[in-house]
Amino acid sequence: MLKRCVDIVLSVLLLIVALPILAVAAIAIEFDSEGPVFFVQPRMGRGFKRFALFKLRTMRMHCEGTAITLGVDPRITRVGQWLRWSKVDELPQLWNVLRGQMSLVGPRPVIPELALEFAEAYVHLLDARPGLTDPASIKYCREQELLALFPDPLLHFKTVVTPDKLLISAAYINRATVWSDLGVLMGTGLALLPFNRVQRFIRVHSFQYSEAADLMFAEPIQRAEVQRALEEA
């Protein structure tokens, strides 16, 4: 109950602060490319209940591609690049928080297909509301730039990044408090400060998935490798 009260109060305050930023972003989107200002996509919510997630549109309309953005994506507009880099495109999700579909801090909501692929982990994670941010989001705050550095972004996303994020999120949920949530929100703000994070991130962290991740997600990893082999055949 306390967590929900904090979510409501802070999301209202953040929405008030964000309104001028959203207004400027909306105008920029309108001038930059054709299409609606907002992008709505189904995501998996608490208890595996789907909901409509709101974002500012960062891609061109009517362009084919995967539901997951991996590395350099030609669909992203010029304004969209800045919106994604600054995370301003995520601000409309404060409305999802107000509606009770999300929390300020919790595992990031993913597309239903990914939640079902890693269902063993999400059965536990989705006991809680998905969130705007969590420790895994901070570690991978520049995920798109990171994936662009690998020859097979999808394979790396499925076999390394996703298992690591799930383990981090699960560990945090088991010990989360209102105070630790506030710390995560502050950490998210610091992670977005403008300095070169990607190179430092690669130096500091190893991208080899842990033994625990290997055991927990062996089947999805094998499926990703099989899919890659079929695509290359």
pLDDT score of 231: 53
**107 HSE (CA, 13 A, CB side):** 30
Which residue is it, tokens 């105008």?
A: 27
In the chain, where the domains are located: 2-232
pLDDT score of 209: 36
Q: Running along the chain, 233 residues long, what does each successive block of 10 average in pLDDT?
A: 91 95 94 90 94 93 73 83 91 96 95 92 91 91 84 87 91 88 87 58 40 44 51 53
pLDDT score of 33: 86
pLDDT score of 147: 84
Q: Which two tokens stand for residue 115?
A: 């939640």
Q: How many residues does the chain have?
A: 233
Q: How do strand 131-133 and strand 103-105 relate by DSSP bridges?
A: parallel
Cβ-count burial of 15 within 10 angstroms (0-12 exposed, 13-18 middle, 19+ buried)? middle
pLDDT score of 144: 83
CA-based max dimension of the chain: 54
Question: For residue 140, which of 204, 221, 227 has the smallest C-alpha distance?
Answer: 204
**DSSP bridge partners of 55:** 39
**DSSP summary character for residue 106:** S
pLDDT score of 110: 93
Q: Which two tokens stand for residue 143?
A: 């995920």
Amino acid at 91: L
Question: For residue 121, which of 164, 73, 58, 175 has the smallest C-alpha distance?
Answer: 164
Question: For residue 101, which of 125, 121, 56, 131 has the smallest C-alpha distance?
Answer: 131
